Amino acid sequence: MTETPLDPAARSRLTRRNILKASGAAAAAIGAAGLPVLSTSAPAIGDRGLHADELIPAKRRGIILYSVRDRISAAPDDSGIPYGFERVLARVAELGYKEVEFAGYTQHTSILGRQITPAEIRKILDDNGLVANGTHTSINPTTFTEQLDISETLGMKHIGTGSDPTNSAYTADWDAAADVWNELGRQAKRRGMKLYTHNHDAAYGFLLDEGPLDANGKPTRSSGMRKLEYFFGKADPKYVFFELDIYWAYVARFKHQKFIDKRGVERTDLFDPILNVASRGDRFPLFHAKDGNRNSALSNGYEMVPLGEGDINFQQFFETIGDADYRHANWEQDNAPGGTANPGQSLDFAAISYQNMSELTIYKRGH
């Protein structure tokens, strides 16, 4: 099964005002798995049995600071655009965000005449009513204690990375990664934190785990098992957790559809980001709410845009996976910075994305 690009008319209908609708194919797959299927129409006006709830509670709306990294790292200037942790975090809070995920702990040294400390960053968070819900840092045994110390200072309940546990296509390397992550996850739990890994599309590519061996004795074909799904079974659910990047999951749906089985036959398997999460309960405490417009002319099949301006159905996604009070949704847009031509763009996109995130609504009966 392959997906065709949306024509302009279809894309215009996939706005944040009309994202309640789900494709028939997706609804069928969700229903077959025993999960709730969204209505394809808005509730009737005047239906007094319904009330609206926030689909992503205000306290769970976050931002990864990588999206505004240009302003965190900017030197002081007279543009009026916030720079550095103190000013950028104040602006983030003003926009409505309650949580932040870190992507580094440094700013321009000219702001303080030295580098800022984690304790100073924590005070800025506290002063603005912000909570650090996680971080993208290096996860390895050599520096893990130091990273735990920083995360503890910042008040985090999760510690993670923006990289996959391994880039390998072979089970032996994922087995070895699981051994490391299980041990580090134990250490994190002792400090009151959950260790998590964040996916890109390659993590949902297919393993090479069957068929003829190559010159190095490694398999050349696939059982159809996806890399990260194999890791789910090897990583201990008590110690290792996951942050789904929703955008990259949909890129994986576009890119990683075919594999060659042990008999040399091409097979098709369409990845479903929603079922990937919904079938695994609390293993996904964090998400990157990153949007994109479908464009099959691009190698990834999507181009990043502010949240709510793309084709990804966040309404369907978050309503179906449920557990709103457990999930942390962090807005991210890798290409948000506008450079010297538009230095305020990343914070402008942060404002747009927060507004659209806040407007996601679920209708329920009763009180």
Q: Tell me what pLDDT residue 365 has.
A: 65
Q: Tell me what pLDDT residue 362 has.
A: 85
C-alpha dihedral (307, 313, 318, 319), degrees to nearest 10: 140
Q: For residue 81, what pLDDT band results from cuts at 50, 70 and 90?
A: very high
Q: Tell me what pLDDT residue 16 has.
A: 36
* Element (DSSP H or E) covering residue 238: none
Residue ranges per structural domain of the chain: 50-365
* Of 187, 183, 193, 87, residue with least CA distance to 133: 193
131-135: strand order across its sheet: 131-135, 99-102, 61-64, 328-331, 286-289, 240-245, 194-198, 158-161
Residue pair 219/210 in contact (Cβ under 8 Å)? The answer is yes
Residue pair 330/353 in contact (Cβ under 8 Å)? The answer is no
354 Ramachandran zone, left/alpha/beta (phi>0; psi -120 to 50): alpha
pLDDT tens digits for range 104-163: 999 999 999 999 999 999 999 999 999 999 999 999 999 999 999 999 999 999 999 999
Q: Tell me what pLDDT residue 53 has.
A: 86
97 pLDDT higher than 50: yes
What is the pLDDT of the chain when averaged over all its residues? 89
Distance CA 247, CA 30 (A): 19
Q: 169 — phi, psi (to 5°)?
A: -100, 5
pLDDT tens digits for range 266-286: 999 999 999 999 989 899 999
36 pLDDT higher than 60: no
- Helix and strand element counts for the chain (H, E): 12, 16
Cβ count near 170 (within 10 Å): 15
Name which residue leads in pLDDT, 362 or 45: 362
| Residue range 26-47: mean pLDDT, rounded | 47
Q: For residue 42, what pLDDT band results from cuts at 50, 70 and 90?
A: very low
The architecture in CATH of the region 50-365 reads Alpha-Beta Barrel (3.20)
pLDDT tens digits for range 212-228: 999 999 999 999 999 99
51 pLDDT higher than 90: no
* Of 306, 318, 313, residue with least CA distance to 351: 306
4 pLDDT higher than 50: no
Distance CA 350, CA 348 (A): 5
| Residue range 293-303: mean pLDDT, rounded | 96
35 pLDDT higher than 80: no
The model carries a pTM of 0.88
74 pLDDT higher than 60: yes
Q: Tell me what pLDDT residue 48 has.
A: 59
Residue pair 154/102 in contact (Cβ under 8 Å)? The answer is yes
Report percent pLDDT > 70 for the chain. 85
367 pLDDT higher than 90: no
